[in-house]
């Protein structure tokens, strides 16, 4: 089909128009990636909170059958200290296998260094756990730390896999999992989402000056 010459129709892009189109597409793509990344982070955090809630419920059910003692209080050595530390820390979660049913809940979806174990026995160890254990958790103090993201730190070295939190030394989060924030399950059954500032307020509200955490 032929068009009258006076219409002066032009086909295609000029170089400038093409460059503008490429820039616009690139900007839109970057915005979309950022949006999807934030959405994925939010979804992972919601899943993490859900997993910690399940761990908290499992501890409570287990304690009901074991004289109101969590696994850390039940499995102790001759002097009453936690029996399973360091490479054996996973055994406190292993004790909850009947209550948790699946190992999937032990790995936060934001923890790219860990993967769920296929079962509770063969090959199950610390490398299949994303969450620390509150070694001194006691239901008589409802604000005590029961479990939480393993990327917690206060700058001190671990001794046999144990991190000692005190109210006079600030704690925070590394960037390994939730990008500088983290989730903590308390003995009252709640799960709190803390940044570094609110984490220290949470530690101060546990009702004790020292919280010992077993880090897998």
- Write down the pTM of the prediction: 0.82
Tokens of 19: 């460059």
Residue 133 buriedness (CB in 10 A; 0-12 / 13-18 / 19+): buried
Supply the DSSP symbol for 86: G
Supply the DSSP symbol for 118: S
Do the beta carbons of residue 47 and residue 184 sit within 8 Å? no
In 143-216, at which residue ranges do the beta strands (DSSP E only) sit?
Answer: 145-149, 152-153, 162-166, 172-173, 182-186, 191-194, 210-214
* Domain-located, residue 2: no
Question: Which residue is listed with tokens 């002097």?
Answer: 79
* Domain-located, residue 114: yes
* Domain-located, residue 194: yes
| Dist. CA 112–CA 1, nearest whole Å | 60
Tokens of 61: 């059910």
Q: Confidence band (pLDDT; 50, 70, 90) for 174?
A: very high
176 or 163, higher pLDDT: 163
pLDDT in tens, 100-110: 989 999 999 99
Q: Is the pLDDT of residue 162 over 80?
A: yes
| Strand (E) or helix (H) holding 131 | strand 131-134
Task: Count structural domains, the chain.
Answer: 1
pLDDT in tens, 39-83: 566 678 799 999 999 999 999 999 999 999 999 999 999 888 999
pLDDT exceeding 70 applies to what percent of the chain?
Answer: 86
* Domain-located, residue 170: yes
* Domain-located, residue 46: yes
* Domain-located, residue 5: no
- What do you get for the CA distance between the two ends of the chain, in Å? 74
Q: Confidence band (pLDDT; 50, 70, 90) for 173?
A: very high
Q: Confidence band (pLDDT; 50, 70, 90) for 29?
A: low
Q: Confidence band (pLDDT; 50, 70, 90) for 156?
A: very high
Domain of residue 96 covers: 13-214
SS3 (DSSP) at 133: strand
Q: Is the pLDDT of residue 23 over 80?
A: no
């Amino acid at each position: 089909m032929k068009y009258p010459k006076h219409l002066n129709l032009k086909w295609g892009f000029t170089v400038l128009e093409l460059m503008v189109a490429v820039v616009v597409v690139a900007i839109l793509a970057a915005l979309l990636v950022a949006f999807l990344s934030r959405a994925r982070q939010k979804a992972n955090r919601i899943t993490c909170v859900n997993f910690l809630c399940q761990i908290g419920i499992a501890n409570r059910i287990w304690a009901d059958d074991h004289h109101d003692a969590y696994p850390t209080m039940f499995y102790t050595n001759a002097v009453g200290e936690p029996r399973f530390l360091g490479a054996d820390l996973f055994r406190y979660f292993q004790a909850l296998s009947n209550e948790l049913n699946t190992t999937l809940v032990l790995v936060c979806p934001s923890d790219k260094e860990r993967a769920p174990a296929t079962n509770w026995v063969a090959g199950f160890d610390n490398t299949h756990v994303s969450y620390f254990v509150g070694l001194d958790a006691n239901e008589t103090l409802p604000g005590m730390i029961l479990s939480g993201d393993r990327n917690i730190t206060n700058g001190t070295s671990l001794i046999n896999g144990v991190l000692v939190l005190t109210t006079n030394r600030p704690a925070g989060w590394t960037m390994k999992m939730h990008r500088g924030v983290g989730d903590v399950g308390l003995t009252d059954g709640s799960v709190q989402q803390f940044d570094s500032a609110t984490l220290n307020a949470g530690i101060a509200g546990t009702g004790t000056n020292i919280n010992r955490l077993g880090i897998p």
